[in-house]
Amino acid sequence: MPEAHSNPEHVDVLIVGSGPAGSTYARVVADARPDVSILIVEAGPRLRGTLGEHTSNMSPDDRRISQRLAQGPDAGVDRPPPHPALSETDGQARTAPFIFPGLFPIGDGAAMPGEFGLPAAAMSTGVGGMGVHWSASTPRPSGSERNPFIPSAELDSLYDQAEGLLGVSKDLRGDDEMLATLRDLVAAEFDSDAPGASPVGYMPLAIGRRGNELQVSGTSVILGDLADRVPRFSVRPETLARYILTEGDTAVGALLEDRMTDSAYEVRAERVVVCADSLRTPQLLFASGVRPTALGHYLNDHLQMTALVKLDPANVRKWPTPESPSIVGSVLIPFVDGIRPMQGQLIPLSRTGAGFHLLPESMAGAGAEEIAILAWYGAKDIQVGDAVEFDESRADPYGMPAMIIHYTLTDADRRVIELMRANMARCAEVVGSLIAEPTLAPGGSSLHYQGTIRMGPNDDGTCVCDTYGRVWSRTHLYVGGNGVIPTSTAANPTLTTVALAARAAARLAADLSA
């Protein structure tokens, strides 16, 4: 363990992790209290472009450099770009987990023998976190997916705020006839399953336009002009938080490690906020001796299934011309309690704004505009035993306690998987025909790990923090990220994470002495 320096630096708010959650804390606190000092420390490097810029908005060279920089111990490794090609299904899961450019997997410890595990679970380590790589789908959860501990009207207004922070657009599709046709066909098939429930619609996206160019939103949009506007705000890259310093039960700062020089130093803070993702937030708390009973438990990730559909030519409209603004959109089949514990998405490749590089070679070329992806997420049956645990006798590549994942599927999960398979086949049939069967992806593929630092109304051993992200039995220590989400969800989590971080940050700002 490196030695700590004397005469520590002091800030009002120290935030660990520069992804969407940490950035939301910074933005909301700074907006409320522009007079306070806020330091975000980030284990990974600064990437190209503006602070937290999405890699899709970069030139191909800058994108490749940034992705390779953010891969932590795999920095510099070239990964193939994402594509929807699926290997043969074995009825269970693909054997080879896919790791996105910009990410690195857990490695040893990701799956215990005989368990489903999270072999495809991956993390990102660069300024902006995963918020510079994400796909920007931002649906609002519904029914039992929603946080039951926050009054409903307040939650709705937090979602409004989160959509504003993330720059969510509800309409990048204009009056596209193809998307409307697909939506109507899918709605006619599914809406009668659950009359009165959220109807089939379109996926909201955190994407905007600059002229004819699409700009994917994320961390940079959350941060906005904070670095220019708020003189005492800064982001310090290549800086690992090794442990949280406490005096009694009060968090008073952190021991940080400069990864360029390997030197360690303390930063003292009035408030410490840990937003280091759902796996590394519990890791840092564990390493710091902050170990509530629920820490790392209730881990849940969406059951992910994908398939490819060849659309009926009658449902296809021609590509936008290179000069016309790209149309971006997909059909959203929402979660319905008890009836459809899953979220479905029908994504015509011609409406992704991403172009043909997404297609497997065998399918590229003539007719490619007829291809659509089915990307479905199932809500996991949450179990206390599904957990990220830590082995102090082994170190991860950052010298932190090594992760061990325990993760199994239940009978309820298997029923959801079969229902997903059936619903995907129904969806394919009404718009065309399946050309690649629904396939269950390896555990961790959705990159939506939740529950490991979950919130709750009482310190009853089933949660790690209160509904304002304050760690139980500790003072001045906050957490944020997908890990705080306490419910079983099928909706992509980042919008909820930003909403909950905004609420916690507003409370933190109000609690700081004037």
Ligand X SMILES: Cc1cc2nc3c(=O)[nH]c(=O)nc-3n(C[C@H](O)[C@H](O)[C@H](O)COP(=O)(O)OP(=O)(O)OC[C@H]3O[C@@H](n4cnc5c(N)ncnc54)[C@H](O)[C@@H]3O)c2cc1C
Tell me the CB-side half-sphere exposure of residue 244, using CA atoms within 13 A: 36
Among 15, 17, 178, 379, the residue binding ligand X under the rule CB under 6 A is: 17
Q: How far is the CB of 43 from ligand X (least distance, A)?
A: 4
Q: How far is the CB of 354 from ligand X (least distance, A)?
A: 12
Catalytic residue among 133, 406, 448, 476: 448
Verify binding: residue 137, ligand X, rule CB under 6 A.
yes
Verify binding: residue 484, ligand X, rule CB under 6 A.
no
Assigned token pair, 286:
């564990």
Verify binding: residue 16, ligand X, rule CB under 6 A.
yes
Q: Which is nearer to ligand X, 19 or 432 (CB)?
A: 19
Tokens 């299934």 belong to 305
Assigned token pair, 60:
């191909």
Verify binding: residue 14, ligand X, rule CB under 6 A.
no
185-214 residues in contact with ligand X (CB under 6 A) are none
Verify binding: residue 245, ligand X, rule CB under 6 A.
no
Q: How far is the CB of 429 from ligand X (least distance, A)?
A: 26
φ and ψ at residue 49, rounded to 5 degrees = 80, -165
Query: What count of residues does the chain have?
Result: 514
* Nearby residues of 283 by Cβ (< 8 Å), 6 or more positions away: 276, 388, 390, 396, 400, 401, 403
Verify binding: residue 275, ligand X, rule CB under 6 A.
yes
User: Does 448 participate in catalysis according to the annotation?
Assistant: yes
Tokens 């007079």 belong to 35
Assigned token pair, 327:
């149309």
Q: How far is the CB of 400 from ligand X (least distance, A)?
A: 7
User: Cβ-count burial of 420 within 10 angstroms (0-12 exposed, 13-18 middle, 19+ buried)?
Assistant: buried
Q: Are 332 and 203 in contact (CB under 8 A)?
A: yes
Angle at alpha carbon of residue 323, lines to 321 and 329, rounded to 5°: 60
Q: Are 2 and 399 in contact (CB under 8 A)?
A: no
The CA R_g of the chain, rounded to the nearest whole Å, is 22
Verify binding: residue 304, ligand X, rule CB under 6 A.
no
Q: How far is the CB of 129 from ligand X (least distance, A)?
A: 2
Q: How far is the CB of 82 from ligand X (least distance, A)?
A: 7
Nearest to 52 by CA among 81, 87, 17: 17
Verify binding: residue 329, ligand X, rule CB under 6 A.
no
Verify binding: residue 136, ligand X, rule CB under 6 A.
yes
Assigned token pair, 187:
């709605």
409-448 residues in contact with ligand X (CB under 6 A) are 447
Verify binding: residue 135, ligand X, rule CB under 6 A.
yes
Verify binding: residue 253, ligand X, rule CB under 6 A.
no
Verify binding: residue 42, ligand X, rule CB under 6 A.
yes
86-125 residues in contact with ligand X (CB under 6 A) are 100, 103, 124-125
The contact set with ligand X (CB under 6 A) reads 16-22, 41-44, 100, 103, 124-125, 129-131, 133-137, 240-241, 275-277, 280, 284, 447, 481-482, 492-494, 497
Catalytic positions are: 448
